[in-house]
Amino acid sequence: MQQLARSPQTGSAQVLARFGVRLIVLTAFATFGSVGFGQSMVALLWMSILLSAVIGGVRREQPLASRLNHWDEVAAYGALCALLNALNPYL
């Protein structure tokens, strides 16, 4: 059986969709957190950073590949976490 080659756009679209769905789920869980939205979201983003880094390492994905992968999710979750830490007193 011949295996079909995946285009870079297909893989990147899947990563963007996965990121969006995870962000919606994280926001929903943080909304109902008992310690407040800001602290809950920061904790959930840290867990997402660690999970994505472990998966990227296990799959041996390249950090600066031509298509999006788990390492790009790590960078995006890290940026959101830093933003929320800066805005945390106001949330």
Which residue has 């999006």 as its token pair? 68
> What does the pLDDT read at residue 1?
54
CA atoms within 13 A on the CB side of 36: 8
> What does the pLDDT read at residue 65?
86
Domain ranges of the chain: 10-90
> What does the pLDDT read at residue 36?
87
> What does the pLDDT read at residue 21?
96
Which residue has 């995946």 as its token pair? 6
Single out the residue of 41, 48, 54 nearest to residue 83, CA to CA: 41
The pTM score is 0.83
pLDDT along the chain (91 residues), means of 10: 56 91 95 89 96 94 89 95 88 63
